[in-house]
Amino acid sequence: MKFLIYSHYYAPEIGAPQIRLHSIAKELLAKGHEVRVVTTFPNYPTGKIFPQYRRGFSHYEEIDSVPIYRYWLFPVQRASLYRLLCYLSFQLTSFFPLLFQVLRFQPDYLLVESPPVFLGLSTAILRFILRVKVIFNVADLWPDFCVEMGVMREGSVMHRIGLFIENIAYSNADFVSAVIPSTKKNLLTKGVPPHKLLELRNGADLEFFRPGEICSSHETILQLSVLSKTQKIVLYAGNHGKAQNLSLALESAEVLSDRSDIAFVFIGDGSEKQMLVELAERKGLSSVHFFAPIPPRDIADAFRLCTLSLSIITISALASKLFPAMSSAKPVIYVGPGEGAELVRETGCGVALESCPPHELAEAIVSVVDAPDDAILMGERGREAIRLRFSWGELVKSWLSQLEPGFR
């Protein structure tokens, strides 16, 4: 089959949808399918277009043999009305190239990533004009997510517009694919019929994220390698945004300020990073280290060097950074409600806290750091869970089977 992926986010950016979509594309190629990608100039999470992409309005490249067609957008980092302009600018610059790709490539399915939900408008038009089959892949429910995060008021004009666009996207898709099971349940309550629902969960690449020797010569990895010789590293790698509530981790670091053998390492960027850096400086937290985003191949080495992985999320979602840590055989401390906490408890890969004050998180960190044998066992359980249930090969195989007519 032929798949045309349409997304606001894609590799080499660092983030959950970027890694997920590129992993899916590679797995589809490995299974003998054809894949193309239409996406933006890389700009996440800094809100600045990466230097090598700053010339012109379009760019073609291949990453891991995946053909990628990129188009300009107005980049923005912080959540604001400018973010809406960012989304709409990509829709304008990519619509006719996307139409051209559909006519030329003749895909069996147009796979659309949401958020942002606005891409559903473009694909609804293309589905009507060209009769292309659309799979609308929902990672976060918009505008519900915006309301939960407090950036949009329920019942406001923007909220009602969001609901209207959401309805257009779902009703004009042949299939709606959910990344987490709870999203699938919510889609049913929103009126999406059961026969249209698919499930393609987050996962990890067992060969990429694995225990072993350090391979990278990246400056950040070299610094972490030195740090790991004298301290146990508590690693957070991912977006530094409002939903992650990383100030909790800094407050826990303050509680553990007398533990000179524990270091807190934050790799990534986001709208809250500057505030977090300033907070750490005000508190005089010498055990806290911030690093800029690094490529996934180097993140894999960061996991190899850490003692445990920290995952914090304030909303009812499954933080995707849980999976690379599990695949790397590292114990996880997961702070947040919902399916992420349930998965950690179910697999025994770490410690799950629905929500907690700083001293409780500090106690959880100490419980793992000071029990190395238990930590190793947690890591082994996590990697085995990835092998059995969350490897990309198994996830994509299951997803493809759901597209077969006999599945329904």
How many beta carbons lie within 10 A of that of residue 44, not counting itself?
22
Of 225, 230, 265, 81, the residue nearest 157 (C-alpha)? 81
pLDDT at 79: 61
Q: Which CATH class is domain 219-389?
A: alpha beta
Are 2-203+391-407 and 219-389 the same fold in CATH? yes
CA dihedral 296, 297, 302, 308 (to 10 degrees): 70
Which ranges in 36-155 belong to alpha helices (H)?
81-105, 119-130, 144-148
Q: What amino acid is encoded at 169 in this protein?
A: A
Locate the domains of the chain by residue range. 2-203+391-407, 219-389
CA–CA dist 199, 211 (Å, integer): 29
CA angle 180, 390, 184 (to 5 degrees): 15
CA–CA dist 404, 128 (Å, integer): 23
Q: What amino acid is encoded at 66 in this protein?
A: V
Of 159, 125, 119, 158, the residue nearest 138 (C-alpha)? 119
Of 263, 283, 274, 286, the residue nearest 241 (C-alpha)? 274
* Tokens of residue 235, six digits: 């690693």
Of 81, 112, 76, the residue nearest 95 (C-alpha)? 112
CA–CA dist 34, 373 (Å, integer): 45
> Three-state DSSP class for 319?
coil
CATH of domain 2-203+391-407: 3.40.50.2000
User: Taking the complete model, does pTM exceed 0.85, yes or no?
Assistant: yes
Q: What is the pLDDT along the chain (408 residues), one digit of tens a residue?
A: 999 999 999 999 988 899 899 999 999 999 999 999 999 999 988 889 999 999 999 999 999 999 999 999 999 876 666 778 899 999 999 999 999 999 999 999 999 999 999 999 999 999 999 999 999 999 988 888 777 777 778 888 888 888 899 999 999 999 999 998 889 999 999 999 999 999 999 999 999 999 999 989 999 999 999 999 999 999 999 989 888 999 999 999 999 999 999 999 999 998 899 999 999 999 999 999 999 999 888 999 999 999 999 999 887 766 678 999 999 999 999 999 888 999 999 999 999 998 889 999 999 999 999 999 999 999 999 999 999 999 999 999 999 999 987 555
39 forms beta bridges with 70
